[in-house]
Structure 1
Amino acid sequence: MQPVSRTSVRLAALLSVALACGAASAQSLVETTTSIGIQNTLNSSTLPGILTVPAVPQSPQAQTTPAAAAQAQPAQAPAQTAPGGTPVPVVTVTPLSAAQQTALTAAQADFSAGRYAQARAGFEALVAQNYSSPAPHFGLALTLLAQKDEKGATFEFTQFQVLSPGSYEGPYNLGVLASRAGRYDDALKFYQDAAVLARTAGNPVAQGQALEAVASEQTRRADFASLTTTLTDLAALQPQNGDVQFRLAQARTLAGQGVAALPGLYALLQREPARADAASLLADIYVAQGLPERALRELSAAVGRVGDGTARSGLLLQQASILASTGDLRGAIFAARDARTADTRNVAAYVREGQLRLQNKDRAGALSAYQSAARLAPKDAAVRTSLAALRLDLGQTAQATQDAALALTLSPDTATRARAQFVQGVGLYRQGQYARARTLLASSAAAAASAETSLWLGLSSYALKDYKGAVTALQASVQASPSAEARRNLVSALLADARYTEAEAVARGLVTDSPKDAEAWYLLGLSQRSQRRDGEARQSLRTAANLGNVRAREALK
């Protein structure tokens, strides 16, 4: 399944400049959101984009907020408790005077025009004149945020929350600042409080915005059970929002409730039959239930409904993967071929076809597919490295070495870099450039150790007559995967380093495991002869000769 594309949450701070004769005014930081794509991780472990904190406020917009109502008449804010447990004194909220209202309007205008220094001075003066009025604190908080003084903004938003405890904007904006500071647990709690206040105030738009923020934080921590609850609430607010319905199905699936997601997915597909993401998730759920054939039927039906070539290509690739998992390589290859036909620019389709053809031992077809992928994505290090590896396997050593060298110039990630270094190192070894080969293979082994890399590193060191280095590398190879080839080469390196007893022990293990391994018997004979145990050596060499080892026959003469 192709990953669902990420859509970051966009936040914009909107300053209200609502004016009414004799009435109070307040400012509001409001989130403008698009759908958060929650990555379906059944086939990919990548999580979606996290909450993005607000940009500097840009555009004013009139908005009535709970803070405005808080200034309409004197009131007492409920007692708060400081973090240390000390009660904060009850504050009486005093409405702004006419002169203070005029000053507030002027400060708001300065803020809207980007004159932040003047706006800050105006709001601070109002705070000094009437500390218990929420609006100046809110305006000052926004201004300080615009000036990148997040510590000051946090303080002022906290004061606003104390003075206007029924306003969702207080905890919401404190959540934004907590997210920006990396205090994600605090951010989640603030957003949850904001959602409750918005619901209590009967403001479904604000509640939806707060729930989106809660969902982002829960996604960040991969708490899919809680995310399911949040998206259920959001879906109830926005029953016609297909993206929310889909995200809810994803969250349920990721929480281990895939079957429970099926009714919602089918309902969504009835309303929006061309949604490839919903069909893809549906197939994933059936695969997880051990029903690959059902998944394939759902995908086949979806391919017929989806008109967009890119989306159809993704469905066909998913179909190819399922077919391959069931052992139907031929069908998988056809599906991958159809995927690249549906979207001729889909590099992943060519790569998948190449992988499948290689798995089916069609190396020529695989080479053609990888070459096409490399032409489409000439700056993709992973594609170029895969092409290099295939060419190395095909014996096209010079081209493989060149492709691997090119891949290393394309800013590969750590794993791809290690693989490209391995391919180039083996290619150089085959061309007799042992010193360069050893350098590359050592770098590859340091980044991503493997039995094969250590084997070739040992061979390169041996060719350079660095027998101690060869022994070290070959021992690492044997430890990772005790193949007969690695063990035979280790015996040779130990003999070259005059470590005859160790060589004999490894060789004896080989002939015990594989009594008909002629090369192992030959090496055992050499190790015994090196220890002046000629009788045993002749017996081992004779066994090797009888098994067809030519060098053993020569040694017996």
Structure 2
Amino acid sequence: MRNLRRVLLTALLTVPVLGLQLSSAQSTDLTVLETQFTQNPSLENSVLLGQAYLNAGRTSDAVKAFEDAIRRDYRSYEAHFGLGVALFQLNNLSGAQFEFEQLTALNPNLLQGYYNLAAVLTRQGKNAEAITTYQKAIEVGKGNEASAEELTLAYTQMAQLLVLAGQHKEAQAAYEEALKLNPQSESLMLAVAQEALAASKTSPDPLASTISLSYAYQLLAKNPALSEATLVVVENYVNQGLTDRALRELDKGIAAAKDNASRVRLLTRKGQLLENSSVQDAITTYAEVLTLDSRSPVRYDHARLLLASRKYAEALQGFQQLVKDNPTDVAYLGLAQSQEARQQYQAAYNAAISASKLAKDPNLVAAAQTIAVRNAYKAKKYSDAVKLTQSMSAPTAEALNWGGLSAYNQRSYATAANLLAGALERDAQNQTVALNLGAAYLALKQYDNAERVLAALVAQNARNAEGWYNYGIALRGRGDEAGARLAFQRALTLGYSKAKGALGGK
């Protein structure tokens, strides 16, 4: 039986697509090999035919050929290898796992067996087992003169799984081993720099930042336009609180960039950093990004900052385009806020309702519904405001306040009091809510409740003129005329002119 030639494995960010290469047959013509097998159904011809079927994309036929070879000689690790590859391509992962396990048992000195087994385990989501198996592949490969290319692939595939597991220090070490085998590899230098950066965020070891910056600057010395390396440098400085230096590095990277994709990447990060120091500069930077890529995700951030800067017309335009292109919950929420700022209350209500229906996060749902209730009130759609508030599974204090005010305007004072009491329970220090609840109790002639709420209000803020006035009404309703007159006098002193009438003046 011919020896299995080492297989060239293609490293991908996902599970590799594996191929099988055997020693060259006398012919690669599928018809010739089929005839050859018919005339001489030997183990070797079965394996060669299986390989030919794989190459032709006839994977199911390849499975049959390799199974035939295994029936002829179960110890043929070539046949197990080929069957494992075929089953892997058919996404029969349990079958592929078994075949590669058999391969490692029959020939434990083959790196390929462990490597491919790890690939199958990765596809199955068994990442911890896959990492251990890649480690075994590396151990076997080192002991059996595996090529640098094969070992590099094993190291890099293992490193990618370590990254997913958040084991950045271990991933860094794996990439460093691969780099030793390929000392000129810029991609591996970058990987080491990135993982050292990630490790430095959770490690007190200053050496991690040193390693990260060393490789990143080494790459930039060769290629100043390498945006990925610039970003590694930037994040190292950001982690050290050196934002100004990070911004200077970004400017250098932007100036050196040779393509729009790199400029967009660097400008986006610049905008994010500028948000903390100069919103206007961040807006300008995001606008520059959008001149290079009109569909960049920073469209949302640009519109969000415009809204925060009270540039409502521009923000509205931005959110309208976002909703048109990609109607997400946050896009609708921004649209609703922009429309409200432009006094488009009915439109804002509709947008907020759309946001609440799309949102999965309970907090975002509550925020959207609160905006909807507020705008229903402002649009004088009081019934809609009340119904929505009552339907909320976790109503906010603000929603309950607007819902209560809506019920009050409908003269549904009991409903108003119930909703406003809920608002005050959630936000006991909110003077506006207390004032509104007191008014609802007064409308219901529940003077004891009104006196309790309003007494607490004026105790909290002795300069709340309307609070004193309403407190006076509550006291008068309870028959405490002396107390009421004192309250009215206090309201009048604070400038509340209606109190003059309550005191008997004109």
Q: Distance in 2 between matches of 1:532 and 1:105?
A: 106
Q: How far does residue 244 in structure 1 lie from its aligned partner after superposition?
A: 3.0
- RMSD (Å) for aligned C-alpha atoms: 3.5
Matched letter for residue 434 of structure 1:
Y
Task: Please give the per-residue CA displacement for 1:268-305, whole angstroms capped at 9, x wherever unaligned.
Answer: 11112112232233223222222222122212222211
1:485 paired to 2:432: yes
Q: Helix, strand or coil: the match of 2:42? A: helix
Aligned counterpart in structure 1 of residue 313 of structure 2, from 367, 378, 385: 367
1:298 correspondence with 2:249: yes
Whole-Å separation in 2 of the counterparts to 1:114 and 1:310: 36
2:467 counterpart (520, 523, 546): 520
Name the CA distance, whole Å, in 2 between partners of 1:174 and 1:213.
12
Q: CA deviation at 1:512?
A: 2.3
Does the 8 Å contact 2:307/2:315 carry over to 1? no
Q: 2:287·2:302 contact (CA, 8 Å) conserved in 1?
A: yes
Which of 42, 53, 76 matches 1:99? 42
C-alpha deviation, 1:162, in angstroms: 1.0
Deviations 1:455-476 (A, max 9, x none): 3344345445274576356535
Task: Specify the alignment match of 1:33 in structure 2.
Answer: 11
Give the Cα separation in 1 of the matches to 2:135 and 2:316: 49
CA distance in 2, matches of 1:356, 1:191: 47
Q: How many residues align?
A: 476
Q: Is the 8 A contact 1:378 1:384 kept in 2?
A: no
Paired AA for residue 157 in structure 2: A
- Which residue does 2:341 correspond to in 1? 393
Match of 1:209 in 2: 153
Are 2:377 and 2:385, in contact at CA under 8 Å, matched by a contact in 1?
yes
Matched ranges for 1:400-419 at <5 A:
400-401=348-349, 403-404=351-352, 414=361, 419=367
1:526-545 to 2 correspondence within 5 Å? 526-545=473-492
For normalisation by structure 2, the TM-score amounts to: 0.80
1:153 paired to 2:112 = no
1:452 to 390, 398, 407: 398
CA displacement at 1:207 relative to structure 2: 1.8
> Do the aligned partners of residues 492 and 262 (structure 1) sit closer, same or farther apart at CA in structure 2, a change above 3 Å counting?
farther
Q: CA deviation at 1:454?
A: 4.1
Distance in 2 between the 1:441 and 1:236 partners?
64
Partner of 2:163: 219
Q: Percent identity?
A: 26
Give the deviation of 1:145 after TM superposition.
3.4
Question: Within 1, Cα distance between the matches of 2:169 and 2:440?
Answer: 56
The corresponding residue for 2:194 is 250
Question: CA separation of 1:523/1:387 partners in 2, compared to 1, >3 Å: closer, same or farther?
Answer: same
**Matches of 2:273 and 2:355 in 1, distance apart?**
30
Cα 1:137–1:349 change in 2 (3 A) is closer
Q: Which ranges in structure 2 are unaligned for 5 or more consecutive residues?
A: 24-39, 201-207
2:119 equivalent in structure 1: 176
Cα deviation, residue 345, structure 1: 0.9
Higher RCO, 1 vs 2 (CA within 8 Å, ≥6 residues apart)? 1
Q: 1:279 to 1:123 in 2, by over 3 A?
A: closer
Change over 3 Å in CA distance of 1:241–1:405 after alignment to 2? farther
Contact 2:322 2:331 in 1 (8 A): no
Q: Does the 8 A contact of 1:428 with 1:437 survive in 2?
A: yes
1:62 aligned to which of 10, 21, 26: 21
Find the residue that maps to 2:405 and give its secondary structure.
helix
After superposition, the Cα gap between the structure-2 partners of 1:145 and 1:261, relative to the gap in structure 1 and judged at 3 Å, is closer
Aligned letter for 1:162?
A
Unpaired runs of 5+ residues, structure 1, are 1-21, 37-51, 65-96
